Amino acid sequence: MPTTTPPVTEAPEKKKRHRPVPLRGWSGAFPVTDNSKGYMLKGIPAGLWRSVSAKCRRDGISRRAVMLQLLTEWVNEEVA
């Protein structure tokens, strides 16, 4: 009985990895202290997150600093 070899399939293409981005330090305007609080935000639309991340990279600012600045401005607006 002749032996049949399985058909040759190409390996799936590997996803390209982004170049490593140097870590940015946390903003000095919002230092972490012993009583700092955390909050995990889930369900952010992927397109929005990519856009925010790209703008942060271009501007050289962390997402954390952007979010904390926006929250600070919003709270101060409500108080005024």
**CB neighbours of residue 66 within 10 Å:** 15
Residues 36-55: tens digit of each pLDDT: 889 999 999 999 999 999 99
- Residue-wise DSSP of 8-75: P-PPPPPPPPPPPPPPPPPPTTS---TT----------HHHHHHHHHHHHHHT--HHHHHHHHHHHHH
DSSP 78: H
* Domain boundaries of the chain, sorted by first residue: 46-79
Residues 1-39: tens digit of each pLDDT: 667 776 767 766 766 666 565 555 566 778 888 888 899
From first CA to last CA, the distance across the chain in angstroms is 88
Read off the pTM: 0.61
